[in-house]
């Protein structure tokens, strides 16, 4: 490297190389997070505005109320199991698409739902699940009694899986598509039976895609509120609904910020634990 | 892999046992016959090549020996056991793939150890054998590298070690050198031959490169359109092609249509030629005469030899070590190669464009291809 650059020159070098990306991160990640952090430490004024005093009272309120703990617990629970269901459906689907002769068409089918607004797609499930809806029409046609499907946790699960499945399939497909299938034959050739061969030769190569897909699905699934709102009615309150409520009708931005911070902290904690157990390799995969 | 020079293939003694036997093997993909009624025996310790243009069925045949494809008809017998229906993971063979097919998420060490691990071999034994294999391919110290950190030639050798460490009865090689550049390919040829000699493992080698097959093999099966055109020792394939296809595909060949007028005499557009004592034709029979470009002799003065005719030098191609003359005579073009000796003597002279020369075709070097089968042109 060149010797004896003046401090100004060096600053310029830094700005030119990491400047644009850094600026982006500062503007759209760091500053909003700091704003929210400060807001979470403030209080609600009589008109719903943010006022001092600063303190940890919002966090104390959150963690001392079992109702809030239950809400975040339920969110993580539903988010986790939705993600598991999505992985079980999406993993074979990605392989099926990757080896299909019609993969362009199948990929298009996966992406097509995005052409329609998310809210409208959730409303569509109401048409399916409501008392005189499509599903009950089918059930009663067989002479069975209609089901009470709205509002229900079941409906929330179905819509969550439906909504986020593409977010899992697409990154995984990208990983699967790159796999050289002669490696599977190489594994057979070296004495591995089919399941073992898949597990040793192919599966590890899908782990980065699997993890990317997991993150892309789990984080929004935990934070969703529209699905729970429309299909869960008052029965299923998730942390997303809680936050929305605070920023909306309750007009308590300070508490809403605090709940958001807790949610973010939990996700980061999960990532940190993953990175710890997997070592640097795990972090590499993440990025 | 030391500098030991490889003994001439002619001196090699092969085992009496049959390592692989194919009996009437046929494979169809849809209504396309990829392999049709192939019968062959590969002997223990033999370096056997399947040679042919792309799409001739050689790779499909290899994949049936490996167990990746099941023949529609016929049997695959390996080491005396019928393995037609045995899955690849239970066959005593290993494969070196054309694109190496190394596991990218494993280190060199883990790649080589894979087969041994599947056999549930104790750890210290695996470590010992991996070391042995790395020394065998001359890459000790590379244990912890990953395939993407290695060059093409190194990856090829790791693929070789990964297969050989399992001590297979037969090693199957699917165009293992085709992705490498010429210099490396020539080096690896010698390495492969030495390795095979040292380990005594039967090699079945698929290639479309006739030079590769000629250099390395004990015997060659030339394939075309799913069938074996000719099977025999390397020299026989080159010296005595039985079909026009083989004559054209292996090296260059001049093919001259001829009609027998006596058992050992034919009539061609170039004149009447006498043949070798071993040939016996029925008068009137249509045949093809094949002669290699390097076996045609050219003279400035008319030599006192049989089968002599006049020709004109139409083109001269200088390749460094050789002068190639394109000759025209009797409406036919002939290729002739002479070594660039710098020695001017009869039979080794240099000629100029448009010069009229005397051409001599030695009867022993004229190969008769019977049936007049035009065969198919591999370059068409």
Could you give the ipTM of this predicted complex? 0.81
pLDDT at residue B310, as a whole number: 92
The dihedral sign for the CA sequence B101, B107, B108, B111: negative
**Separation between Cα atoms, residue B138 and residue A177, nearest integer Å:** 34
Identify the residue with better confidence: B248 or A53.
Answer: B248
Of the pLDDT bands very low, low, confident and very high (cuts 50, 70, 90), residue A48 is confident
Chain B residues inside the 8 Å CB shell of A197: 89
CB-hemisphere CA count at 13 Å for B311?
A: 30
Query: Does the distance separating the beta carbons of B68 and A190 come in below 8 Å?
Result: no
B94 Cα to chain A: minimum distance (Å): 6
> Which chain A residue shows the shortest CA-CA distance from B114?
A190
Q: Which member of A182, A191, A196 has the closest CB to residue B119?
A: A191
The dihedral sign for the CA sequence A109, A114, A117, A121: positive
B291-334, pLDDT tens digit by residue? 999 899 888 888 888 899 999 999 998 888 888 999 999 888 99
Of the pLDDT bands very low, low, confident and very high (cuts 50, 70, 90), residue B338 is confident
B218-231, pLDDT tens digit by residue? 999 999 999 999 99
Q: What percentage of chain B carries pLDDT values higher than 70?
A: 91
- Go through the domains of chain B in sequence order and give each one's CATH number: 9-239 (3.40.50.300), 252-372 (2.40.50.140)
CA dihedral A127, A128, A133, A139 (to 10 degrees): 180
Query: Does the distance separating the beta carbons of A204 and B94 come in below 8 Å?
Result: no
Rounded to an integer, the average pLDDT of B152-180 is 92
Chain A residues inside the 8 Å CB shell of B164: none
- Go through the domains of chain A in sequence order and give each one's CATH number: 1-40 (no CATH), 56-286 (1.10.3720.10)
Identify whether A258 is preceded by a cis peptide bond (ω within 30 of 0).
no
- Between chain A and chain B, how many beta carbons pairs sit less than 8 Å apart? 61
**Separation between Cα atoms, residue A228 and residue A156, nearest integer Å:** 6
**Separation between Cα atoms, residue A104 and residue A97, nearest integer Å:** 8
Query: Does the distance separating the beta carbons of B114 and A185 come in below 8 Å?
Result: no
> Which chain B residue shows the shortest CA-CA distance from A198?
B103
pLDDT at residue B2 tops 50: no
Show which residues on chain A lie within 8 Å of chain B, measured between beta carbons.
Answer: 180, 182-183, 185-193, 196-197, 200-201, 204-205
B166 touches chain A (CB under 8 A): yes
Strands B322-329, B367-369: pairing kind? unpaired
Tell me the H-state helices in A100-152: 103-111, 118-129, 134-141
B211 alpha carbon, distance to own chain's centre: 6
A212 Cα to chain B: minimum distance (Å): 17
Of the pLDDT bands very low, low, confident and very high (cuts 50, 70, 90), residue A279 is low
Rounded to an integer, the average pLDDT of B111-128 is 94
pLDDT at residue A206 tops 90: no
B99 touches chain A (CB under 8 A): yes
Chain A residues inside the 8 Å CB shell of B92: none
B267-287, pLDDT tens digit by residue? 988 888 988 877 778 888 888
The reported pTM is 0.78
Phi, psi of B367 (to 5 degrees): -100, 130
A81 Cα to chain B: minimum distance (Å): 29
String of b and e for A14-50 (b: at least 16 CB within 10 Å)? Answer: eeeeeeeeeeeeeeeeeeeeeebeebbbbbbeeeeeb
**Separation between Cα atoms, residue B312 and residue B358, nearest integer Å:** 9
- On whether the CB atoms of residues B210 and B134 are closer than 8 A, the answer is no
- On whether the CB atoms of residues B110 and A211 are closer than 8 A, the answer is no
**Separation between Cα atoms, residue B179 and residue B200, nearest integer Å:** 26
B342-354, pLDDT tens digit by residue? 666 666 678 888 8
Of the pLDDT bands very low, low, confident and very high (cuts 50, 70, 90), residue B124 is very high
B97 touches chain A (CB under 8 A): yes
């Amino acid at each position: 490297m060149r010797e004896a650059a003046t401090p100004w020159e060096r600053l310029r070098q830094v700005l030119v190389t990491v400047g644009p990306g850094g600026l982006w991160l500062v503007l759209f990640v760091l500053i909003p997070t700091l704003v929210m952090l400060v807001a979470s430490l403030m209080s609600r004024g009589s008109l719903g505005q943010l006022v001092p005093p600063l303190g940890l009272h919002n966090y104390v309120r959150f963690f001392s109320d079992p109702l809030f703990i239950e809400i975040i617990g339920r969110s993580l629970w539903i988010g986790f199991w939705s993600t598991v269901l999505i992985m079980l459906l999406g993993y074979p689907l990605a392989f099926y698409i990757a080896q299909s002769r019609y993969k362009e068409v199948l990929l298009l089918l996966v992406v097509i739902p995005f052409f329609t607004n998310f809210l409208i797609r959730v409303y569509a499930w109401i048409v399916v699940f409501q008392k005189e809806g499509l599903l009950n029409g089918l059930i009663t046609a067989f002479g069975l009694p209609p089901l009470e499907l709205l509002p229900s946790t079941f409906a929330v699960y179905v819509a969550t899986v439906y909504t986020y499945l593409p977010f899992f399939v697409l990154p995984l497909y990208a990983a699967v598509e790159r796999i050289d299938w002669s490696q599977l034959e190489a594994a057979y050739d070296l004495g591995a039976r089919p399941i073992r061969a898949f597990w040793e030769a192919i599966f590890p190569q899908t782990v980065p895609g699997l993890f990317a897909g997991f993150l892309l699905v789990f984080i929004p699934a935990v934070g969703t509120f529209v699905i729970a709102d429309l299909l869960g009615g008052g029965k299923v309150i998730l942390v997303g609904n809680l936050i929305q409520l605070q920023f909306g009708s309750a007009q308590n931005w300070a508490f809403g910020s605090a709940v958001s911070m807790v949610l973010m902290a939990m996700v980061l904690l999960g990532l940190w634990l993953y990175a710890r157990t997997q070592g640097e390799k795990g972090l590499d995969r993440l990025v | 892999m030391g500098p030991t020079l490889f003994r001439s293939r002619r001196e090699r003694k092969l085992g009496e046992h049959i390592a692989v036997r194919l009996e009437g093997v046929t494979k169809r993909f849809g209504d396309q016959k990829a392999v049709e009624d192939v019968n062959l025996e590969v002997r223990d310790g033999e370096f056997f090549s399947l040679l042919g243009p792309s799409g001739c069925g050689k790779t499909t045949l290899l994949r049936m020996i490996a167990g990746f494809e099941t023949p529609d008809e016929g049997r695959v017998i390996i080491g005396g056991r019928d393995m037609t229906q045995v899955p690849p993971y239970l066959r005593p063979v290993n494969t070196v793939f054309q694109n190496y097919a190394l596991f990218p998420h494993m280190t060199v060490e883990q790649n080589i150890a894979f087969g041994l691990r599947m056999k549930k071999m104790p750890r210290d034994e695996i470590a010992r054998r991996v070391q042995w294999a790395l020394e065998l391919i001359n890459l000790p110290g590379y244990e912890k590298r990953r395939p993407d950190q290695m060059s093409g030639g190194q990856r090829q050798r790791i693929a070789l070690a990964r297969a050989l460490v399992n001590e297979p009865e037969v090693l199957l090689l699917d165009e293992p050198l085709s992705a490498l550049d010429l210099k490396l390919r020539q080096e690896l040829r010698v390495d492969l031959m030495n390795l095979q000699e040292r380990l005594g493992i039967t090699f079945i080698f698929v290639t479309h490169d006739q030079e590769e097959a000629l250099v390395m093999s004990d015997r060659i099966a030339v394939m075309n359109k799913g069938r074996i055109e000719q099977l025999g020792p390397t020299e026989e394939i080159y010296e005595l092609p039985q079909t026009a296809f083989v004559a054209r595909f292996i090296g260059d060949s001049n093919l001259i249509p001829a009609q027998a007028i006596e058992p050992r005499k034919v009539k061609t557009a170039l004149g009447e030629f006498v043949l070798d004592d071993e040939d016996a034709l029925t008068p009137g029979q249509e045949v093809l005469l094949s002669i290699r470009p390097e076996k045609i002799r050219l003279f400035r003065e008319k030599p006192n030899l049989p089968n002599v005719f006049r020709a004109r030098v139409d083109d001269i191609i200088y390749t460094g070590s050789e002068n190639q003359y394109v000759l025209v005579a009797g409406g036919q073009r002939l290729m002739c190669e002479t070594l660039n000796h710098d020695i001017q003597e009869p039979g080794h002279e240099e000629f100029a464009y448009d010069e009229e020369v005397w051409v001599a075709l030695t009867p022993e070097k004229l190969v008769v291809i019977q049936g007049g089968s035009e065969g198919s042109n591999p370059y068409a």
